[in-house]
Amino acid sequence: MNLRQFDLNLLIIFEALISECHVSRAAEKVFLSQSAMSHALNRLREQLGDPILVRTDQGLQPTPRALAMAPKVRNALQLLQQSLTPSESFNAAQSDRTFTIASTDYFEAVIFPELMSHLLTFAPNIKIEIEMIAENASHTRLANGEVDLVMGMEVEQSIPSHLICEPWLNESQVCLVAQDHPQVNSSLSLKQYLKLPHVVFMDVSQVSANSVDTWLASQNMSRQHMARTVNYMAAARIVEKTNAIMTLPQHMAQLFSDMMAVRIVKPPKGIPAINMTMVSHPLFAEDPGVNWLTKHIHAFSQNIDW
């Protein structure tokens, strides 16, 4: 298709229609009458040679081609909007901006409370909303500008190559067992580790093996997965009530040992540290507020007084 023959205003119409899957709501979104939106939809269909939206029992649904186009069109519109918007500095002391971070349990429980206190000394009116990482959805929300950062994913996890993925924090891992576990003393040999049942934490974004299972597989070994959960707290409570063990970052383990009948045990030699990342979207690489936030998270993390 020759771009000169295509009405670029229709891209705004397209994005509204795909977002809403409803002609009237899409019309309201871009301040058009319903008849004008219907006319624009017909023009889109004619120029693209595709129905764009088809009627089903569940209402209007995008066609496969429309679904494939949608993220690219949305990104193009956002990039154009950024280009047309004058760059402004971020005044932390005066800003009341709300940042949204998709994160793991680790970031939310171990890092976020102290980080929030730290950030408020520089930006007393900002707000931060934490949501749990959801498989694929968090990456889509990054692209849409609905999430500013994704924190805490392991380096081993599959992260789309077009995203900006920075090393953030690494921490040694330990084992957690019930306080009265009869078979475990203060440390575990590899033989014991492989013999005991494990509660394995599975980040909901994870599509590949975690660092421990990857390390074991490299030596043609595997551990017994008695239970798998996406919640560290649930995993620790299972450990408290059974003869299972779990492997987790040291400071998350310390939180649980302070509040439950569990104790920290030295893991077998060779258990890898956990290496976590900070993920952002290149579309917002010039956003002064996001740059301020990432700078402070990095500085705070490097100077944590464990």
Q: Mean of the pLDDT values across residues 287-302?
A: 93
Q: Report the share of the chain in percent with pLDDT over 70.
A: 94
Residue 284: per-residue pLDDT: 85
Q: Which of 84, 108, 140 is the last residue of a domain?
A: 84
In a domain? residue 12:
yes
Give the bridge partners for 177, in sequence order. 263
Q: What confidence tier does 134 reach under pLDDT thresholds 50, 70, 90?
A: confident
- CATH number of the domain that 292 lies in? 3.40.190.10
In a domain? residue 93:
no
Residue 116 and residue 233 in one domain: no
Distance from C-alpha of 303 to C-alpha of 251, rounded to nearest angstrom? 15
Residue 195 and residue 255 in one domain: yes
Residue 162 and residue 217 in one domain: no
Residue 149 and residue 288 in one domain: yes
> Under 8 Å CB-to-CB from 103, ≥6 apart: which residues?
112, 130, 131, 132, 133, 150, 151, 152
Residue 164 and residue 77 in one domain: no
Q: What is the residue range of 74's domain? A: 3-84
Residue 85: per-residue pLDDT: 65
Could you report the per-residue pLDDT of 77-106, keeping only the tens digit for each? 877 876 776 666 889 999 999 999 999 889
Residue 205 and residue 64 in one domain: no
| Residue 213 CA, distance from chain mean position | 21
Residue 207: per-residue pLDDT: 47
Could you report the per-residue pLDDT of 18-77, keeping only the tens digit for each? 989 999 999 998 899 999 999 999 999 999 999 999 999 889 999 999 999 998 898 888
Q: Which of 25, 53, 84 is the last residue of a domain?
A: 84
Residue 22: per-residue pLDDT: 94
> Which of 56-70, 128-142, 158-172, 192-206 reaches the highest mean pLDDT?
56-70
Residue 198 and residue 65 in one domain: no
Residue 293 and residue 145 in one domain: yes
The structural domain count of the chain equals 3
Residue 106 and residue 185 in one domain: no
In a domain? residue 89:
no
Asked if residue 8 has pLDDT above 50, the reply is yes
Residue 155 and residue 181 in one domain: no
In a domain? residue 17:
yes
Helix ranges restricted to H, the chain: 9-20, 23-29, 34-48, 64-84, 105-106, 112-120, 137-143, 190-195, 211-217, 232-241, 250-259, 288-302
Q: State the burial class of residue 93 (Cβ atoms within 10 Å of its Cβ: 0-12, 13-18, 19+).
A: exposed
Q: Which of 49, 84, 119 is the last residue of a domain?
A: 84
Could you report the per-residue pLDDT of 189-210, keeping only the tens digit for each? 999 999 999 999 886 655 445 8
Least confident range from 155-169, 171-185, 223-237, 277-291: namely 155-169
The closest alpha carbon to 153, from 117, 202, 215, belongs to 202
In a domain? residue 64:
yes
In a domain? residue 91:
no
Could you report the per-residue pLDDT of 215-255, keeping only the tens digit for each? 999 999 999 999 999 889 999 999 999 999 999 999 999 99
In a domain? residue 90:
no
Residue 163 and residue 292 in one domain: yes
Residue 158 and residue 139 in one domain: yes
> Under 8 Å CB-to-CB from 179, ≥6 apart: which residues?
240, 261, 262, 263
- CATH number of the domain that 77 lies in? 1.10.10.10
Residue 252: per-residue pLDDT: 95
In a domain? residue 92:
no
